[in-house]
Amino acid sequence: VFFLRERLKGFAKGSSFVPKHVHVIGAGVMGGDIAAWCALMGLNVTVQDQNLNAIAATLQRAAQLFKKRLKLPFLVQAASDRLVPDTDGLGVIKADVIIEAIIENVEAKQKIFAMLEEKAKPDAVLATNTSTIPLEVISKNLNNPGRVVGIHFFNPVALMQLVEVVADPHTDPKVVAQATTFVGKIDKLPLPVKSSPGFLVNRVLMPYLLESAEIYFEGVPGPVIDKAATDFGMLMGPIELMDTVGLDICVAAAQSMGAPISEQVVAMVHAGKLGKKSGAGFYTYPHGKVVKPKVDPSKKYPEDISDRIIMRLVNESAACLREGIVTD
């Protein structure tokens, strides 16, 4: 793991790019936390949203992050000063890196990038945090589609170290190298990937989750499946993970990747059982905390659960390698 981390850090050394100012468009769950993280890491940040409440919530979450990480009041103050609300998007013309993290809507994103191509500095990195829309669709109407790169963070931003740097065949290699260096500069681990549904992480995660759902509907209790995964070394079991991510998001992600998802999961979504956020999914969440059913210890369950779920993940990884999503 140490060598793999060093390898990822090495990707960031591909350019001499020195980003100083980041502009984030969309201050939601992701954009807000990306902006806060960049300010924590010493960059000047402007954060834009059409919704003032989203910006206010971002500043609140950022203040908590700065306090927790920096502790000393003058450092907290300095980080807060680096994070500037920017409802009019004035930061666009000055930023070295612009990260779009608005809602997952093609037309809205295309509009933002048309504006960015016109207004941003000619050498600014123009990035999208999209999880599902292909880069070539977002950049389709631009004069220079090669300028757009994916910088795909994971939720929660402050805890997840891996960031996928997404390129399609049009993407300018210089832009990819700059984006990768930027990711290293904010102390994350960049992984270059090819633009393809699910990129690497969500692509290999999906069959693992779907297999877990199959096992669940075969009659194995959730806690037994989760334990097989945590015994293997996962931080959280797949059943609880699906509830945490949201079953609606899981279904949408599976469908966008063309992965076959169990009808029973789709039915749960239709019934409003979305997981933690709706109070019930595979488990229940009476006070926001998971309640798992008790498992009868005298009952025998199949012993191949971790094999079934982990092998799906390994198998998909091999497919990603074959398809050149990652180089090795």
Q: Which residues are part of the catalytic machinery?
A: 152
* One of 131, 139, 181, 212 touching ligand NAI (CB under 6 A): 131
* One of 51, 141, 264, 315 touching ligand NAI (CB under 6 A): 51
* One of 12, 76, 102, 259 touching ligand NAI (CB under 6 A): 102
252 binds ligand NAI (CB under 6 A): no
Considering only the stretches 147-155, 185-193, 258-266, 286-294, report the one whose residues sit in contact with ligand NAI under the rule CB under 6 A: 147-155
129 binds ligand NAI (CB under 6 A): yes
> Which residue's beta carbon is nearest to the bound ligand NAI?
28
Contacts with ligand NAI in 23-42 (CB under 6 A)? 25-31
Rounded Cα distance, 110 and 239, in Å = 35
The residue (of 70 and 106) whose beta carbon lies closer to ligand NAI is: 106
- State the nearest-atom distance from the C-beta of 109 to ligand NAI, in Å: 7
Considering only the stretches 91-99, 153-161, 205-213, 222-230, report the one whose residues sit in contact with ligand NAI under the rule CB under 6 A: 153-161
The residue (of 18 and 108) whose beta carbon lies closer to ligand NAI is: 108
The residue (of 22 and 102) whose beta carbon lies closer to ligand NAI is: 102
108 binds ligand NAI (CB under 6 A): yes
49 binds ligand NAI (CB under 6 A): yes
Contact, 243 vs 275, CB < 8 A? yes
60 binds ligand NAI (CB under 6 A): no
Residues that bind ligand NAI (CB under 6 A): 25-31, 48-51, 54, 101-104, 108, 129-131, 153-155
